[in-house]
Every structure is written in C-alpha cells, then in structure tokens.
Structure 1
C-alpha cells in the first residue's frame, strides 16, 4: 500500500512538471512571435516611409497540367470533331496555297516554325489533346498560313481531307512525325498509323491536284517499321528518295526539324531505339 501511494505521488509530480514545461515553452513561443510581429511592423513602416510598395505579391498563375498521353480508343476520343460547315474555306487566308497536314502535331512547334519559314505554304496541325491544341493555337495567332484542329485522325482525317479538297486546298504533304509509340503490347492497338488510316492518306495523296507525298519518321525502330509497312502495302504508293542499306531515307525532305528530332540527333532521346531517326517518303506510283 505504501509503495502504491509513493508511485502515485511520483506520477503526479511528473505530470505537474510536464505541465510547467509546456507552459514555459508556450510562453517563449508567444514572446518570439510578438517580437517577430514588432519587427515586421517596423519593417513595413520603414518601407512605407522610404516609398517602397508594400502591396502583396501577385498570385502565381496556375498552369493547367498537359497530359502526355490520351487513349484514342476511349468513348470521348472517338467522337467526331464538331466543325463549322465552311471551316475549310475560312481556316486560311489563302487556301489555294499548297497544304501540309501534320498528324499528331503535339504543341505545334513544327507547324509554327515551318509556317514562319515558308509563307507560301499552309500548315494544318491535328492533335487529339485539347490542351495541346489550345497552346498551339495561341502560338500561331499572328500567322495566316498556320492552323490547328482538335480531332482524332483515325476518326476525322478522311472527312477533313475531303472538306479541304472541296474547298480548293491542294494537298502537298501529310506527315506523321514521332507518333506516340505505345510501347506496351496491349496498347499497340492505340498507335495512330492503322491500315485504315494509311489507306485514307494514300487515297487523298493520289487524288491531289499537285505532286503530293507522305512522310513518316520515328526514333523507335518498331514504330517506324510498322508505319513503313502500312504505306508499302498501299499499291498506289512507292518509296521516293535516297535510302540506306537498311531501307531508311538518308535525309529529311523537310526544311524544319521537330523538337523531338533535334533531341534525338543530339543524343538526348531516352526512349529511342538508337540516336538516329528512321524516315520514309512515299509518293503516288
């Protein structure tokens, strides 16, 4: 009984000591905060007396996150694009200029730079992600020969090319440059260059009133081989240009390189099969 009473007294004393220590810490924190408030008030008074602006700094603008991938087979992505009836006649100031269509243009850097470099041609970028299209359109506001559309090429390309042809826009080239490789085997069905898309592009190129071509490029060998096989299977197309021993175009026919191509050739292509670009150019047979 005596030991139990002593234990209770010791516990009570320890609790009182802990409470006293907590109160002492709270008091010290309060004094520090009060001193800091005084210092801040004095600093603001000095700034105001010296003529400095004491307004709060502007809030940082929140940038919407850009998704790097989007499933082209999802229900939302397979809906046809909503376009005005006369979009093909109004999208460029001079629609009679030779037209290049870039399938999967991402942020549109290649289209914008190409349009600046050659004002005698029109450039149309197609991209699935609406956020990327919004940024691309913003960068091309001052250009009359560069435009972008948010659409799924596997759903809308045939209709778009038909509208442009009816509007008198001469198709000169269709490019598929560094498309999303979809490395996983179960995701390969999402790749943009399907046999149906290749057939659609082939028909439009062969029906063009001017000399037209299809240009494909990738830094992933498997993707490049697949695209080359898709267009080689179109009997109305043939390869054009100088090719190396492995069957790849030695030099790009384009005046402007994409950002991805520049990175790969500089040895910065982390997902590349090699530090090189696999290219192929097809023209009507």
Structure 2
C-alpha cells in the first residue's frame, strides 16, 4: 500500500508549497527505487503542471487524462489500480508520474478524492500531494487527516512562525500525525536559523531548510524542472550553490523515506498482531 506525503502551508503565497514538493518528489524519484506519483487536490490546472513543462489538458482531451478522467471512471466504477498510470503523464520513466488537472474550473469533492487516493495507493509506492494552503478548505483538512506524512512549508518570517508554533495557524488535523517543518527560500545568512527556530519554539518536529536557488528558480520559470533535476542528480560538482541545494533536499528525502518505512513497519506489525 502506497504512502501519501502532503505538502502544505498555513499561509498563502509564502510557503513555496508547489515548488518544494516538485523539488522533493523529483529528487526522491531520481535517487530511490520507489514508483511515485505527484498530484494536487483540484480538478483544474495548477502551477504544478507548468513546473514540469506539461501542457494544459484541453476540453477535447478532458475525458482521456488527469484528475477529471479518474473522477469520471471512479464514479462509473470502471477504474482499476493497474490502469491509473494510463491517465498520468511521465516525468521520469518508471519513477515519477504526474496526475494533472484540466482547464475546467471544477472542484473535486471529498468522496471522489478519497477514492482517487485509495486507487493511487494501490498503484504507487509514494503519492506526493500539493495541497491548497490555509485551513479553510474541507479538502485540505481531509487530505491532512489522511496523510502518512505532512510537509509544513514555512517562510523565514517571524510573524508567520509565531502564528504557527503558537497554535493560531496550527490545524487540528496535524495533532498526533507525522509532520516535518521545511523553511522555504532559506537564507543561511539570516540570524533566524533553523537551529534558532527549533530552540525558540521548543518544537519536537524536525526542522529542515530548502535554500533559495537562483538556478532552480530559473528552471521553474523556463518550465525545465524535469531536465534540471536530472542534470543536478548526475552532477559531481561540490561546494556550489546547486550542490548545497541538492544536499538539503537529500537530507529531507532521507528522513521522509525513513519515516514512511517506519509507518509501513508499524502497519505490518499491527496486521500480524491482529492475526494472532
């Protein structure tokens, strides 16, 4: 059974939710044997597709690909797990697929989302989900409550951090769940370091960083993330801005893989206990 990793932020526009999950999913896919899917929680097209250079699904192609196609088949009881990949686009062959949206301004309902998650869990080892920021969306709250691991994306901004760690923007759905903190667009020269953040707020959650990378930003702006990560993975250059970016992603990905392996072990142990 596949495991879900949800990328979320309590605040709109500052958490770099989409670019962070795109980076982590791409790097994870290139450095592990896990078959992964990356998607988002809306039927309509999002910036996630753009980052990987995928074209907008036209209305004529609406029935044949993406989230909307899965929704139609699920409602008709026609979709099987081994057919899910037929409705996705390939990012890295046999490693990472993208389940995109359409050009229609529709909203997916929670029943359909649950069904899509259950189906994709049977088809993939890891499902990376770009969740809508904030706490007002019922779908966001649902996806957080179902996640095996949540990536909370926060800026290096004291006001935002205060609100999250002091509970004002801390969702009820995170209580008792596995989650990590990722400080986005991290500036290592700032006095507000990850170490200081962890000490100041006395959080037990792991705190990681994804540094600002001009090269990654350019790859996003030129819709060339897929190729850029492939080159980054193959590069042997060290002590550069790109290698530092890669090293921080590796730290996060290793922790995520270990956490999900522990979750799987707990599930297997529970199943064995149930049979005894």
Question: TM-score under structure 2 normalisation?
Answer: 0.34
Question: Larger Cα Rg: Structure 1 or Structure 2?
Answer: 1
Question: TM-score under structure 1 normalisation?
Answer: 0.33
More helix by share: 2
Q: Which has the higher contact order (CA 8 A, sep 6+)?
A: 2
